Amino acid sequence: MNAFISGFSLGISLILAIGAQNAFVLKQGIKKEHVFVICFVCALSDAILIFAGVSGFGYLVEQFPSLQTFARYGGFAFLCVYGLKSFYSAWRMSHELKPEGITPPTLLKTILLTLAFTWLNPHVYLDTVILLGSVSTKFGESAPLFGFGAMSASFVFFFSLGYGARLLAPLFKKPLAWKILDGLIGIVMLSLAWMLLAF
């Protein structure tokens, strides 16, 4: 049980930081678009990476640093494009919760975007595969329980964020609130993009 609690606690602490993925989940939660699928894809992706880390895949990543390099530059390009798109949206869009004549993105497009936010972020590999994977070795035979705790933290966090975001929906009936959110998301995206190459 101690291993599970340790995994859950460490998993939550690593995922709490505001990043591109969390900002995306928050925004879609407010808009109430494909919330369940987005939360499930994010949590399942984390679970797969945590399983890989606990199973020893962290060692493989350390042996082939080119995997991290590819993720770093791919993530940089993706975050730059999405960040600039957020700034454009803050500047030009009308930002209504249910704008008439505008069709929400398809389920497939939403899934692909969610996967990009997750798998093109090199920090997710450092957190889930390498860090959680290395910590799990301290628990010996209880390592799988540690991993299960970390996986549970991801499911609890993403579904809480996605469905809790709708409580902010009344605030975002005002177009100015959307513009501010898009502006902040743009700042977060471009800041993360710069950090990927600077560190």
pLDDT tens figures, 116-126: 988 987 778 87
Q: How many CA atoms lie within 13 A of 59 on its CB side?
A: 5
Domain boundaries, the chain: 2-198
Q: How confident is the model at residue 101 (pLDDT cuts 50, 70, 90)?
A: very low
pLDDT digits (tens, 9 = 90+) for 129-176: 877 887 787 787 888 899 999 999 999 999 999 999 888 778 777 778
Closest C-alpha among 11, 24, 49, 29 to residue 192: 24
Give the pLDDT score at 73: 80
User: What is the overall mean pLDDT for the chain?
Assistant: 81
Q: Is the pTM of this model over 0.75?
A: no
Give the pLDDT score at 153: 94
pLDDT at 114 over 70: yes
Give the pLDDT score at 35: 94
Alpha helix locations (H) across the chain? 2-15, 20-31, 35-54, 57-63, 66-92, 107-119, 122-124, 132-136, 143-164, 175-198
Q: How confident is the model at residue 97 (pLDDT cuts 50, 70, 90)?
A: very low
Least confident of 4-8, 20-24, 30-34: 20-24
Q: Please provide residue 52's backbone torsions phi and psi, each rounded to the nearest 5 degrees.
A: -60, -40
Q: Which residue has the higher pLDDT, 85 or 58?
A: 85
pLDDT at 111 over 90: yes
pLDDT at 80 over 60: yes
Length of the chain, in residues = 199
pLDDT at 195 over 80: no
